Amino acid sequence: MKIGIIQQHNTPDVADNKARLREKIDKLAADGANLIVLQELHNTIYFCQTENVDKFDLGETIPGPSTDFYGAAARDNGIVLVASLFEKRSAGLYHNTAVVFDSDGSIAGKYRKMHIPDDPGYYEKFYFTPGDLGFHPIDTSVGRLGVLVCWDQWYPEAARLMALQGAELLIYPTAIGYDAHDTADEQQRQREAWQTVMRGHAVANGLPVVAVNRVGWEEDDGSRCQFWGTSFVCGPQGEYLFKAPEDEESTAIIDVDMERCEQVRRWWPFLRDRRIESYGDITRRFIDSK
């Protein structure tokens, strides 16, 4: 599978952000990509840096103007496209939603972000209702895609549930960056942990992983965040197939050998050896040792 990724710096100009994405989508498709993955909430700046009720005006229905726009990009180029939108489901009810378009421009499926963070500079619980669609892969003309979103990437349960339902690829649109109050060493530890945990999902499930992050400084209502880029693709043993820079935009096409996943799973049959009869406590919030 030839996978295209777009790591982009965003501005408050939504029309410009979308136009630049469309130009890059067209270029990657012309160069042979058959699946293209965009970063989290790619239409706008990352507006969750502050809590502001006016930002709900950025939400859109699905279907809506943005699904028309990205559906056309998928159809015109004959590619599968993973987009990330601020979904307005109803008044006062919004989701952080990944939408997958098939090569004919139709919506193959959507995933509503399940794990919602609430940290300084990432006030997502103010904006997003936790997803209610569960963890289910989306079938497309290029394969069955396990699409998750950003904060979901820290949870092995989410990746495993996708793998158990036949996902052939794990995909994480992402918006994550440095806290300016942290030391340079701490910033790098966090960035590397972010990569390591997803590479672990690749190894544990014998699946390639695609993580696409935004990059550069973004300012919102006086708050500033530097997104650390470093979008990457790794194979089923966690091996890097591509890694983008930390501090600049990047587009790339990565050729992923999907047949190799079958062989890796034969060498390391982790799904075979799971002790499913002993995992009941995993659904508890905490297990008191007393």
Residues 6+ apart with CB under 8 A from 149: 40, 84, 96, 98, 111, 113, 172, 173, 174
Does residue 173 lie within any of the structural domains? yes
Percent of the chain with pLDDT over 90: 95
pLDDT for position 98: 98
Percent of the chain with pLDDT over 70: 100
Q: How confident is the model at residue 290 (pLDDT cuts 50, 70, 90)?
A: low
Q: What is the pLDDT of residues 227-271, one digit of tens each?
A: 999 999 999 999 999 999 999 999 999 999 999 999 999 999 999
Helix (H) or strand (E) holding 160: helix 156-164
Does residue 20 lie within any of the structural domains? yes
Distance CA 149, CA 114 (A): 8
Q: How many domains does the structure of the chain reveal?
A: 1
Name 95's bridge partners: 87
pTM over 0.85: yes
CATH number for 50: 3.60.110.10
Distance CA 204, CA 284 (A): 22
pLDDT at 122 over 80: yes
Residue type present at position 289? S
pLDDT for position 2: 98
pLDDT for position 281: 92
Does residue 184 lie within any of the structural domains? yes
Contact 231, 212 (CB under 8 A): yes
Does residue 91 lie within any of the structural domains? yes
Instruction: Number of helices (H) and strands (E) in the chain: give both, helices first.
Output: 6, 15
Does residue 92 lie within any of the structural domains? yes
Nearest to 166 by CA among 141, 140, 142, 146: 146
Strand 177-178 versus strand 169-174 pairing type: unpaired
Among 41-45, 84-88, 148-152, 285-289, the range scoring the smallest mean pLDDT is 285-289
Does residue 279 lie within any of the structural domains? no
Q: How confident is the model at residue 21 (pLDDT cuts 50, 70, 90)?
A: very high
Q: Which domain holds residue 61?
A: 2-272
Distance CA 243, CA 126 (A): 32
pLDDT for position 124: 97
Name 227's bridge partners: 177, 216
Mean pLDDT of 133-159: 97
Q: What is the pLDDT of residues 84-97, one digit of tens each?
A: 999 999 999 999 99
Mean pLDDT of 45-55: 95
pLDDT at 224 over 90: no
Does residue 66 lie within any of the structural domains? yes
Residues 6+ apart with CB under 8 A from 87: 59, 60, 61, 62, 94, 95, 96, 97, 112
Mean pLDDT of 267-276: 95
Contact 162, 148 (CB under 8 A): yes
Distance CA 138, CA 143 (A): 8
Residues annotated as catalytic (active site), given as ranges: 40, 113, 150
Only one residue has tokens 């990565």, namely: 254
pLDDT for position 186: 95
Does residue 281 lie within any of the structural domains? no
